[in-house]
Chain A
Amino acid sequence: MKIKFLMDNFFKLVFRDYLYLSMLFMMVIFKFTIAPILGLSGSQNVELLIVLTFFMGLINGLNFFKNNQLYNRYVKQKVGNYWLYISVQTVILLLTNILTAVLTFINTADLLLIILFTTSGFVGTTMAMLLKPRFEKHPIVGQISMFILIYLSLADSSSGVLYYINWILPPISKMIVTLQDGHSIQALLPVAGQQFVYGIILFAISGVFYQKKFEK
């Protein structure tokens, strides 16, 4: 019952201020109108959409956690189960990323692309989860941290200093670099797996790190 109660609440929270829906519409319209006009190749088109999906997951996540702080202050007390609360949040946000990916590729119904885009959005969402308390109490620290994380997500980590630490960097640029190296879309599947595991690790870190805020 608690799961049903939370899912209902969080779904409404995602759609509360129409930001997610607006971004979703923009994404779909971009995919079907502007992208063909730009004359991008197939892989360039996918690369651009991966970055957009990542940003969409991030912005949707930040907005969701802001609304959660505003409206659900006492809901967590009613439920009284921290891990259930944040796990259901994560599942709902993952579902919104799936919805984004499905609607973006609704014409092709390409399962592989849907997986790739879902995990890219999921990394953005879990980054927002990691930073949520920073934005609540220390907005400047939150914004600087966000700037650094976005930089590390998008910067080329295939060479230079970042190469040595690329295993801890959000694997967004890695997917693009892999595609640019001439690999097929199928070759991105392991990177998608890495993105999903990365997202789960960020979820676990934020879960453990912020547990004290929920219960003593």
Chain B
Amino acid sequence: MELLAAKDLSLQNEGYFAFKHVTFSLYQNEIAYILGDNGSGKTQFLDTLASLKSPDSGKLEIAPKARFGYLPQINPEVITKTVKKYLSDVRSLSGNLAVRDSQLKELITYMGMSPYLDRPVRQLSLGLKQRVGFLAAVVGHPNILLLDEPFSFQNSEMITNMLDIIKDLRDNHSGIVIASTVQDDSVVNYFDTNYLMKDNSLIKVTDQNQAVHYMLIFTVKSNTMALPSDISHYLSTNVDNLIELKVPMKIKDSIIKEMLELNYNFEGARVLEN
């Protein structure tokens, strides 16, 4: 069953397109993943799907009586309630359709929030606030779950736990949209549909490995060895002590490993909009 359908959707902000002519569908039992660089329009698109922004053109169809859960990238709300009270209140907003009290306790434990139950949300660190926001988004047992950068500030264990909860929702007939700037190879298998947001457009990716490229950034040390020919093939920038390699996603990890063996300092990676 189709939960969301965006047809030829466009949104402008003061003369600049946040996104244009976007077509997107979300079905029950589906996790859609939207990958895109900073400023590519992911957040604006999710805000529009959540009806927090009105598109300038196009049509957005939402299944009748669909309930949304939304984890925004940054929630400006100042929450003075304790974690326990806040999550309990948010759960109550969905009435009988929300998860049961016992399930809420399990979710809190699973997300490692038990030690913080009596702490006011506003006093928590960014990572913990992100977990509270994630729990607030899922406790209503939404039909449509929108997650904007849900894995930021989280360790790999928490990311796996989040994905387990997301997968569980998917298996219980929800549709989930995840927007992120980075893609960890270890989580790719969780997603049913992959999209790439670039040039303000949304492109459905059929072969994820071929479509996505990364820019790997390294710096040179005193004992660094010369680049072998198989790697220099991907060289994009070589200025002073900075080396940038543009590589397909599928060989990203092996290239990093090889470069570390050649004594290069790995400074970071960013997704390219092809």
Chain A residues with CB under 8 Å of chain B are 1-2, 5, 12, 16, 70-80, 212-216
Chain B contact residue count (CB 8 A cutoff): 21
Tell me the residues in window 78-106 of chain B with beta carbons closer than 8 Å to chain A beta carbons. 78, 80, 89-90, 92-93, 95
Decide: A77 and B54 in contact? CB cutoff 8 A: no
Decide: A2 and B93 in contact? CB cutoff 8 A: yes
Contact A5 B60, CB 8 Å, known A16-B78, A80-B68, A213-B54: no
Decide: A77 and B93 in contact? CB cutoff 8 A: no
Residue of B54, B60, B67, B80 near A12 (CB, 8 A) is B80
Q: Can you report 28 A-B residue pairs in the complex whose CB atoms are below 8 A from each other?
A: A1-B92, A1-B93, A1-B95, A2-B93, A5-B90, A5-B92, A12-B80, A16-B78, A70-B76, A71-B78, A72-B77, A73-B72, A73-B75, A73-B76, A73-B77, A74-B52, A74-B72, A74-B76, A75-B77, A76-B52, A77-B52, A77-B68, A79-B93, A80-B68, A212-B54, A216-B51, A216-B54, A216-B60
Rounded to whole angstroms, the CA-CA distance of A12 and B92 in the bound complex is: 20
Shortest Cβ distance from A76 into B: residue: B52
Rounded to whole angstroms, the CA-CA distance of A74 and B62 in the bound complex is: 18
Chain B's nearest CB lies how many Å from the CB of A74? 5
Chain A's nearest CB lies how many Å from the CB of B152? 16
Q: Which residues of A contact B75 (CB under 8 A)?
A: 73-74
Rounded to whole angstroms, the CA-CA distance of A16 and B78 in the bound complex is: 9
The proximity string for B residues 122-150 relative to A, scoring 1 for CB distances below 8 Å and 0 otherwise, is: 00000000000000100000000000000
Q: Which residues of A contact B255 (CB under 8 A)?
A: none
Chain B residues with CB under 8 Å of chain A are 50-52, 54, 60, 62, 67-68, 70, 72, 75-78, 80, 89-90, 92-93, 95, 136
Decide: B60 and A77 in contact? CB cutoff 8 A: no
The 5 closest A-B pairs by CB, nearest first: A1-B92, A71-B76, A74-B72, A215-B51, A71-B77
- The majority secondary structure among interface residues of chain A is helix
Contact A5 B93, CB 8 Å, known A70-B76, A74-B77, A80-B67: yes
Q: Which residues of A contact B72 (CB under 8 A)?
A: 73-74
Shortest Cβ distance from B55 into A: residue: A216
Shortest Cβ distance from B67 into A: residue: A80
Rounded to whole angstroms, the CA-CA distance of A177 and B197 in the bound complex is: 62
Rounded to whole angstroms, the CA-CA distance of A119 and B72 in the bound complex is: 38
Q: Which residues of A contact B67 (CB under 8 A)?
A: 80
Q: Which residues of A contact B54 (CB under 8 A)?
A: 212-213, 216
Q: Which residues of B contact A80 (CB under 8 A)?
A: 67-68
Chain A's nearest CB lies how many Å from the CB of B52? 6
Q: Which residues of B contact A78 (CB under 8 A)?
A: 70, 90, 93, 136
Q: Which residues of B contact A214 (CB under 8 A)?
A: 51
Q: Which residues of A contact B136 (CB under 8 A)?
A: 78
Decide: A77 and B78 in contact? CB cutoff 8 A: no
Decide: B70 and A74 in contact? CB cutoff 8 A: yes
